[in-house]
């Protein structure tokens, strides 16, 4: 769909989120305007309580503003019904959280197939697409592992594969490296940069760490529900260049996998 938004994939105007507490009105967001162009990698920075999660939840169609407007891909989503919003979430957005949010007993391939089920993807190709997405994040040798059998970094890569499998317009990441040590943080940031550059997915990432934000192409700072700074990262940091998506051989389906799983040939 074309519109006057041109290249803007996200356009929020005068966004407000107000909570009435007794006689008082508390603003979690107090007039946020922001345009994100297709292909940008934007870090949202701010102290605890500044409104980052509120903004992310509204942009992620998980919450509604009490004022202002929001267009995603040129479509006004601020007045959509719950069903329409979940449709938008399933087709246009991918989510990555600090705690990975994986389903505890599910194998990696099945985790990544879940959004394909909700987006109405043909059943016959779901598993193939999930495997492809896991291989892209370097987990060809962990396809049939459960979260308890993987490190934190591997679990976050499963979550990224799950977020990207539907080819979303926007990937929303809320403190994606918050639980990871510095080495694994670099791997995850390298993977996000690579996804941004090679797949062209627009990324919005919340962080409170300056050196994490520096891997983005743009840093937006919020405080007290308002944008207080917005700058391009001109000298783009190249610290995260470990090759982590070098593919591993695909491990064949184990004998105890659910029946009906096709056998996967090694690459």
* Interacting residue ranges for Mg ion, rule: CB under 5 A: 53
CB of 213 to Mg ion, least distance (A): 15
Q: Can you point out the beta strands (E) in 38-66?
A: 41-45
Q: Is 263 in the site for ligand ADP (CB under 6 A)?
A: no
Yes or no: say if 157 and 248 are a contact pair by the CB < 8 Å rule: no
Count interface residues toward ligand ADP (CB under 6 A).
Answer: 11
Q: What are phi and psi of 124, to 5 degrees?
A: -65, -30
Q: How far is CA 223 from CA 59, 68, 176, 184, 229, in A?
A: 17, 18, 20, 29, 9
CB of 33 to ligand ADP, least distance (A): 17
Q: Which is nearer to ligand ADP, 28 or 216 (CB)?
A: 28
CB of 205 to ligand ADP, least distance (A): 13
Q: Is 24 in the site for ligand ADP (CB under 6 A)?
A: no
For residue 217, the partner it binds in Mg ion, ligand ADP, none, with Cβ less than 5 to 8 A by kind, is none
How many CB atoms within 10 Å of residue 225? 22
Q: Is 207 in the site for ligand ADP (CB under 6 A)?
A: no
Q: Which is nearer to Mg ion, 100 or 144 (CB)?
A: 100
Residues 25-64 that bind ligand ADP (CB under 6 A): 26, 28, 46, 48-54
127-131 CB contacts, 8 Å cutoff, 24+ apart: 127/261, 127/262, 129/165, 130/161, 130/165, 131/250, 131/264
Q: Is 115 in the site for ligand ADP (CB under 6 A)?
A: no
Residues in the site for ligand ADP, rule: CB under 6 A? Answer: 19, 26, 28, 46, 48-54
């Amino acid at each position: 769909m074309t519109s006057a938004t041109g290249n803007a994939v996200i356009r929020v105007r005068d966004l407000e989120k107000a909570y009435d507490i007794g006689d008082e009105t508390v603003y979690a967001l107090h007039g946020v305007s922001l345009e994100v162009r297709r292909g940008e990698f934007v870090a949202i920075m701010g102290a605890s309580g500044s409104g980052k999660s509120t903004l992310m939840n509204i942009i992620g169609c998980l919450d509604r503003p009490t004022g202002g407007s929001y267009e995603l891909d040129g479509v006004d989503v601020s007045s959509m019904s719950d069903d329409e919003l979940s449709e938008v979430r399933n087709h246009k957005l991918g989510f990555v959280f600090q705690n990975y949010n994986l389903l505890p007993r599910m194998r990696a391939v099945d985790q990544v197939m879940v959004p394909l089920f909700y987006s109405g993807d043909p059943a016959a190709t779901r598993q193939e697409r999930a495997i492809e997405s896991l291989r892209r994040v370097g987990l060809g040798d962990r396809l049939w592992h459960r979260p308890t059998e993987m490190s934190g970094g591997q679990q976050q890569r499963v979550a990224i594969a799950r977020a990207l499998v539907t080819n979303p317009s926007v990937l929303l990441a809320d403190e994606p490296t918050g639980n990871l040590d510095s080495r694994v943080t670099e791997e995850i940031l390298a993977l996000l940069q690579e996804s941004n550059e090679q797949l062209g997915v627009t990324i919005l990432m919340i962080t409170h760490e300056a050196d994490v934000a520096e891997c983005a192409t743009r840093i937006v700072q919020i405080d007290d529900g308002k944008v207080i700074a917005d700058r391009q990262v001109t000298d783009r940091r190249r610290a995260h260049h470990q090759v982590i998506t070098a593919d591993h051989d695909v491990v064949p389906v184990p004998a105890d996998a659910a029946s009906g799983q096709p056998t996967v040939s090694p690459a």
